[in-house]
Amino acid sequence: MGLTRTDGPLSPHPPQSVNYAIDGPAHKLLMHPFPRRVRAEFAGRTVLDSTRGVLVHETALLPQLYVPEADLDATAFVATDHTTHCPFKGDAAYRSLRVGDRVVENALWAYPEPVRTAAWLAGYAALYWEAADAWFDEDEQVYAHLTDPYTRVDVRPTSRHVQVLAGDVLVAESHAPLRLDETGLPTRWYLAPEDVMVGLEPSDTSMRCPYKGRSSYWTVRLPDGSAITDAGWSYPDPLPESSRIAGRVSFLHDDLRTVVDGTEV
């Protein structure tokens, strides 16, 4: 997604349809300020609180938040002997996160002496997302990861003819779907519940998207009684920027085919 993945300019396979060349290593880094306040909580305590964070974009990876050392609760982090080496950033030193009797080993890393070409990493540290109990972008709790400023989601109504099939069985059909385009991902089609022609049974599966919110999954029950588990999903209460898809159903499964205007996609 964004700059560093799929066909972004800093990805492993940048697009060929350009009139420029990026002169540099195959593995590229880009750091820029993240303008909002970010906080991380662990064991009921704020262990990271920064308005001076930066995002580091790295080829083939999601952007990673780094914050100045001064924006960490130093008493919550304990140095360890663990180290790793990155040829593009240098030798990383690690610290465990410890509050009371709760510990996450090697939860934080930093590059005390980064390589020359990444000297701007000096004085910054990064916390693994899953190490914290909760993250906040300003005062809104966020999940999965911070949003990438180079990624966006567009939802548009359309009159395209969309069919979802399981073999020869028509699972759903619409002439008024919503088209959702998310940077770096294939187009998804969201259909109204009344466009679904087979049974839908709620699944226990749920996922978080930082751009759309929490999804609920559906099992498709075909007329012959067979089931396709987690074949569709919905966002009952999506984030405001994706509010149009509320209650709609999208389908994706190896046992399903999506046909748009007569062409399988």
pLDDT digits (tens, 9 = 90+) for 46-103: 999 999 999 999 998 889 999 999 999 999 999 999 999 999 999 999 999 999 999 9
Predicted TM-score (pTM) of this structure: 0.85
Q: Is the pLDDT of residue 219 over 80?
A: yes
- CATH topology assigned to domain 29-142: 2.170.150
Q: Where are the domains of the chain?
A: 29-142, 153-264
- Asked if the model's pLDDT at residue 7 lies above 80, the reply is no
For residue 247, CA distances in Å to 148, 190, 215, 237 come to 25, 9, 10, 8
The residue whose two tokens read 């569709």 is 232
pLDDT band at residue 10, thresholds of 50, 70 and 90? confident
pLDDT in tens, 101-156: 999 999 999 999 999 999 999 999 999 999 999 999 999 999 989 999 889 999 99
What percent of the chain shows pLDDT beyond 90? 83
- In the prediction, which pLDDT does 5 show? 75
Buried b (16+ CB within 10 A) or exposed e, 51-73: eebbbbbbbeebbbbbbeeebbe
- For 83, counting Cβ atoms within 10 Å of its Cβ (0-12 exposed, 13-18 middle, 19+ buried), the class is exposed
Class of residue 116 by CB neighbours under 10 A (exposed 0-12, middle 13-18, buried 19+): exposed
Choices 3.20.20.450, 3.40.50.300, 3.40.50.10420, 2.170.150.40: CATH for 153-264: 2.170.150.40
Distances (CA, A) of 54 to 28, 121, 165, 228: 16, 10, 45, 43
Question: Token pair for residue 136?
Answer: 């906040």
For residue 16, what pLDDT is reported?
84
Average pLDDT, the chain: 95
d(CA 133, CA 87): 31
Start-to-end CA distance of the chain, whole Å, equals 20
pLDDT higher than threshold 70 for residue 1: no
Residues 182-197: what's their mean pLDDT? 95
Confidence (pLDDT) at 212: 96
Mean pLDDT of 172-184: 96
DSSP letters along 147-212, please?
PPTT--EEEEE----EEEEETTEEEEEESS-EEEEETTS--EEEB-GGGB-SEEEEEEEEEEETTT
Question: CATH topology of 29-142 equal to that of 153-264?
Answer: yes
Non-local (6+) Cβ contacts of 145 within 8 A are: 62, 63, 129, 210
